[in-house]
Amino acid sequence: MNTPPSIPAPVTPPWWDDLSTAVLVTDADLCLLSLNSAAEVLLGLSRERILGHGLGQWLKLDRNLSSRLRSTLSLDQPLTLRARQLEPMRADSFLADVIITPLHGESGRPGQLLFELNAIDRHERISREEQLQKQQAITRAVTRGLAHEIKNPLGGLRGAAQLLASELDDSGLKEYTQIIIREADRLRSLVDRMLGPNNLPRREAVNLHEVLEHVRGLVSVQLPLGLKVRGDYDPSIPDVHADRDMLVQAILNLVQNAVHALEGGGEIILSSRILRQYTVSGHRHRLVAKLSVRDNGPGIPEEIRERIFFPLVTGRAAGTGLGLPIAQSLIQLHDGLIECRSRPGATSFDILLPIQPSNAREGMH
């Protein structure tokens, strides 16, 4: 049970949870009195569980910082920490500008501290995303133009080979025309796959856990011994309004890559989490589902790491380099995005899928 805070928590304004800056208030003993949604996301916490608990239980505070915080209060002077690395216990560490302001109670003496956390690397993430999307839009335009130029003459080539085949009696020569037709078909299907999905999503209420479990079932049938796929789901995620087949395809492409990377030994974890007030592709969403495919394989080869979402970039002899760009296009059709983090021993692909409020209601029973 939480111990009730000794000083009443400040009354928060109605737009408190609409702020993109993470804001929290503590009492003089650094016990949390209130925090907004953006702070919940940054620290990976839910407010029900932590109000009334010491800030140090959720965020690593060294002794120096703790004493500076206390003197902020005793001297009644704001404190600004620039580009400070913060390490929450339940979320990824991040770089932030932190402004701490003493708040005055009715007595006129400062009794509480207001923290504003402005995560700098989140801004970097957003501008990196924008950059990536611009590059992908260019690649798509070039691919589309090129595909058109290839497909037209290819159709002619194939038709001519068919005509020729019908004129030939020699089966040995017919063999050659068959090769032309087969290779033309192969090229056409490659070009079609490079163009990516050409249908709009057929949306319905989709249970993400059912989708993840379905993919787990698909890959589990042919898993080599020594390779495990585990699920770690947040059961509270509502249904999303999405094209189920497209989601299955996107997740399957990620899981298949992880299976290849592990070469028969290791662990893949499929997980789901909910993010609140989260920005995806320049739009802030109230709720975003984060579906992750993590593996403990060797990581993405350094030389292709920056380019893996572009078509035909592959690190495998048998790869075509289309799995990731296709997955990315499928998720982008849902206004979402796939992000990747990779180092040897830990590779993670995160699908960020916005959940619209009306859809969230649709998904509830």
- b vs e for 304-331, b when ≥16 Cβ sit within 10 Å of the residue's Cβ? eeeebbbbebbeeeeeebbbbbbbbbbb
Between 34 and 342, whose beta carbon lies closer to Mg ion? 342
308 binds, among ligand ATP, Mg ion, none (CB under 5 to 8 A by kind): ligand ATP
Task: Give the residue from 236, 334, 329, 247 showing the smallest Cα distance to 293.
Answer: 247
Which residue stretch of 7-15, 61-69, 230-238, 312-320 sits at the interface with ligand ATP (rule: CB under 6 A)? 312-320
Q: Which of positions 208-267 make contact with ligand ATP (CB under 6 A)?
A: 253, 257-258, 261
Query: Which of 10, 52, 201, 319 is in the footprint of ligand ATP by CB under 6 A?
Result: 319
Binding flags for Mg ion, 256-275, as an x/- string (CB under 5 A): -x------------------
300 binds, among Mg ion, ligand ATP, none (CB under 5 to 8 A by kind): ligand ATP
Sign of the alpha-carbon torsion through 216, 217, 221, 225? positive
Query: Which of 20, 281, 314, 356 is in the footprint of ligand ATP by CB under 6 A?
Result: 314
Which residue stretch of 92-100, 175-183, 200-208, 314-322 sits at the interface with ligand ATP (rule: CB under 6 A)? 314-322
Binding flags for ligand ATP, 275-294, as an x/- string (CB under 6 A): --------------------
* Binding residues for ligand ATP, total number by CB under 6 A: 21
CB of 336 vs ligand ATP, minimal distance in Å: 17
Q: Which of positions 162-201 make contact with ligand ATP (CB under 6 A)?
A: none
- b vs e for 268-289, b when ≥16 Cβ sit within 10 Å of the residue's Cβ? bbbbbbbbebbbbbeeebbbbb
Instruction: Specify the 3-state DSSP secondary structure of 101.
Output: strand
76 phi/psi in degrees, rounded to 5 = 55, 45
Measured between its terminal Cα atoms, the distance across the chain in Å is 30
| 323 touching Mg ion, by CB under 5 A | yes
Using CB atoms within 10 A of its CB, is residue 106 exposed (0-12), middle (13-18) or buried (19+)? exposed
CA 355 to chain centre: 13
Output the DSSP codes for 197-236.
--S----EEE-HHHHHHHHHHHHHTTPPTTEEEEEE--TT
Between 133 and 162, whose beta carbon lies closer to ligand ATP? 133
Residues at the site binding Mg ion, with contacts judged by CB under 5 A: 257, 323
Q: Give the interface with ligand ATP as residue ranges (CB under 6 A).
A: 253, 257-258, 261, 295, 297, 299-301, 308, 313-316, 319-324, 347
